[in-house]
Amino acid sequence: MTKYRKERLWRPLVAKAYFDKGMGELSIVKYAVALFAIKIPSSKYAILAGVGYVIFCYIFGRWCYNHKVVEIEQEIGNMFNPFVREMREKYNNRKV
């Protein structure tokens, strides 16, 4: 993993992964932010709400990666994936 950290685009792509994860999990909140932005008369607060939502998406995505939520979700997906189930049965029964 350290080999990839030397790449030029490592940090921006990790930041994008954090943001994408947060945006995916909090996608319903964007409608509340949009409704809030429509209801308030000042565009200043609407922009602040949007910026706050973007920052919160990044922070929440980073939290998900740091607390292994992403790995748990992947493992849950693997439990129901027929290919993964078959490969685990095949290689768990094999004598080493």
Condensed to tens digits (0 to 9), the pLDDT of residues 31-70 reads 998 898 888 888 898 899 899 999 999 999 999 999 999 9
User: Does the residue 81 lie in any domain?
Assistant: yes
pTM for this structure? 0.78
pLDDT higher than 70, residue 12? yes
* C-alpha to C-alpha distance for 91 and 89, rounded to whole angstroms: 6
Helix (H) / strand (E) element for 83: namely: helix 82-92
The count of domains in the chain is 1
For the record, the structure tokens of 6 come out as: 């030397």
Report whether pLDDT(1) > 60: no
* Residue range 78-90, pLDDT digits in tens: 889 999 888 888 8
- The pair of three-digit structure tokens given for residue 1, joined into one six-digit string: 């993993």
In this predicted model, which residue has the larger pLDDT, 91 or 73? 73
More confident site: 6 or 48: 48
Are 36 and 46 contacting, i.e. CB atoms less than 8 angstroms apart? yes
In a domain, 49, yes or no: yes
Q: Which residue has the tokens 């080493």?
A: 96
**92 three-state secondary structure:** helix
Report how far residue 62's alpha carbon sits from residue 45's, in angstroms, rounded to the nearest whole number. Answer: 25
Burial 12-23 (b: 16+ CB within 10 A, else e): eeeeeebbebbb
1: in domain: no
pLDDT at 2: 61
Q: Structural domain of residue 58, as residue ranges?
A: 11-92
Residue 3 lies in a domain: no
